[in-house]
Structure 1
């Protein structure tokens, strides 16, 4: 490392465990002892690092060990869904300190939903001062132009289309605000929390009210040029029956195989179903017509995923969301079609698995997203 290693770069060394004493920092960076003391002093002053003297001694005074201070601040996170939202306060290691889950109709729009989120964060902060907040991370069920935090082509949030969210949050919490697609944050949370040591290439597919995907390639989320990567819900399928999708096209997999589509088809067949739980009850009861519709939805999703597997060659496809978690026959159909229609090389080591983290992946992914930003070397240096 350069002899001019910055304070932010020193923090990265401490967080990774590569350098845990002043002597380690000097050895790794080549910085002089006074320069090391200056940088460590800045980190101590900002509460990002603490000193420990409980390290084992080999004789004489035990070395002072430097440790990243996860309690040195908090981040505010929210994972918005079509019907359910999770809000939390996390420490600087991404651990949830306080959280709340509730049902909210996001179609009420940002003028209603954002104040509710901010009021909830205020309550969850408790006695912690607002100055402890280092950043905000949000996942929303819409395509997001990440650099600006602008929602576009909202899947279930039509009233949010074109809204730039960060300035609205910064009116109350004047900190960096990052907003991304809900499935992207699920993919990040799932990868970082459950698969980081296993693979850098993961495709997370959320099958719920709507269908979407998040792509982790070489360990990083792939957003595309304008944030539209992973919108597999709008890939058309064969023999869809001419169903008009909310995007304006015909027979998108989202419009014929999502939870919304299943409910629509079952109601048309005379089934008394109001929620996915009602569909689950029919599946458990062995209702043949419901089972057939669920398997057909899986076949259609598998058809689209086979193309994605051929293009992206992930190590693992993770299936999450209410529908994927509820229906074994749907998952079985997806697996069958993907392995049959993808290339032999792409599926040689491919695993198709249910989510390991479940709904918790959303909060985890939002926390990772904002922490990777506010604790980056550049952000730390800019804040000094």
Structure 2
């Protein structure tokens, strides 16, 4: 496949700080105009002028500027009642490519997407995050290069790289903050390390946060209050409130894995406390409990395989894990009143057993008003929730009004 022409957008690196800069008074509104076209619908200059209240000449100039960046392109002609039919313009997701990375406790999934989040190619490898930041990120860099080659794209066409990590992250710096299962990662400058190989925008966040972004963007776009619960090697929640991801003051919002649960007395968690949800309901914890009950299981996947084969003890163990998660979520429902709770992660792949336990407790213990319209569902994005969210995180940064203005100033 031959490489497409490199436009001004493709050759210009977006400053990492641009996405966080609010539009200043008097600044060109080209970036704001572009937001109207991000939905993919083709519109004429006249339609854009009517929507914005801007003069047609102003809209025409801004459309020309966005076209020069490669972000929009002509998309046919509108009906004309007389004279030359007006041209329509639409967002061009293929203008740039995004690399999305989901680093789990035992795996790395890397995908190349376009600016709409459509996955162009992906690669998954098994690797322990405990191998350390250099080993993991060197592998990530290698996979990035491979995917760019597979998709026939050049590194100059990168809009950015988004990375999810299985631990707390200081989002403003991209540095992990005391991650319990990531020895050697604390305070490591992940964006700088990646930028030694790729001169592009790099954003990093907790893996459950990006899963929440991905699930909401692609499957629940009209839901403004959503919880994404990952039940795997660890347990965490991504919180969408008012349509926005809620990270909290220090980026640890949603760390429900270390909330104490009623039946946790005497169960030691790796965080040093007793009775944490993660110590009872995570994949490894359920495997340990099942083994102690006479059914050998080394991992959460082993537990799920036993459940799929109809092993009653395995089914009961997964359902009990759901009840434990439900104990914590019942409090979350009272506190946050979400519209949707999405259950994802490795242990959720077992189907209805985990969800049945969650629903049993949440609907029993929460007030009827809080659960009257509450939906508790399995993740539809499944294994791709992380990379979809990482892509969306990058796109929202680099296509923000401030970032578009920064590109226009540089062009």
Distance 1:381 1:5, change over 3 A: closer
Distance 1:152 1:32, change over 3 A: same
CA distance in 1, matches of 2:99, 2:351: 33
1:111 aligns with 2:144: no
1:145 aligns with 2:163: no
CA distance in 1, matches of 2:362, 2:75: 52
Q: Is the 8 A contact 1:315 1:349 kept in 2?
A: yes
**Alignment gaps of 5+ in structure 2:** 1-24
Range 21-30 or range 163-172, more displaced: 21-30
Range 146-155 or range 117-126, more displaced: 146-155
Matches within 5 A, 1:236-247: 236-247=260-271
1:369 aligns with 2:393: yes
The match for 2:120 among 94, 97, 101 is 97
- 1:154 CA displacement: 1.7
The match for 2:192 among 164, 167, 184 is 167
1:223 aligns with 2:285: no
Range 71-80 or range 58-67, more displaced: 58-67
CA distance in 1, matches of 2:216, 2:324: 25
Matches within 5 A, 1:140-289: 140-197=165-222, 199-289=223-313
Q: TM-score, normalised by structure 1?
A: 0.93
- 1:33 CA displacement: 4.5
CA distance in 1, matches of 2:26, 2:234: 51
Q: Is the 8 A contact 1:320 1:358 kept in 2?
A: yes
Deviations 1:11-32 (A, max 9, x none): 1122246882222333343444
CA distance in 2, matches of 1:318, 1:151: 25
Which residue in 2 is equivalent to 1:50?
Answer: 73
Distance 1:174 1:347, change over 3 A: same
Which residue in 2 is equivalent to 1:343?
Answer: 367
- 1:165 CA displacement: 1.2
CA distance in 1, matches of 2:292, 2:41: 61
* 4+ aligned runs moved over 6 Å, structure 1: none
Larger relative contact order, structure 1 or 2 (CA cutoff 8 Å, min sep 6): 2
Q: TM-score, normalised by structure 2?
A: 0.87
**Alignment gaps of 5+ in structure 1:** none
The match for 2:335 among 284, 292, 311 is 311
Q: Secondary structure at the match of 1:359?
A: helix
Range 253-262 or range 150-159, more displaced: 150-159
Which residue in 2 is equivalent to 1:36?
Answer: 59
Distance 1:155 1:324, change over 3 A: farther
CA distance in 2, matches of 1:137, 1:288: 41
CA distance in 1, matches of 2:284, 2:176: 22
CA distance in 2, matches of 1:264, 1:350: 32
Q: Is the 8 A contact 1:3 1:31 kept in 2?
A: no
- 1:293 CA displacement: 2.9
CA distance in 1, matches of 2:293, 2:40: 59
Deviations 1:243-280 (A, max 9, x none): 22222211110111111101122233343222333222
Deviations 1:286-343 (A, max 9, x none): 4444344333322221111111111010011111112122153332121111111112
Range 159-168 or range 128-137, more displaced: 159-168
1:383 aligns with 2:370: no
Distance 1:323 1:136, change over 3 A: same
Distance 1:19 1:65, change over 3 A: closer
Range 277-286 or range 112-121, more displaced: 277-286
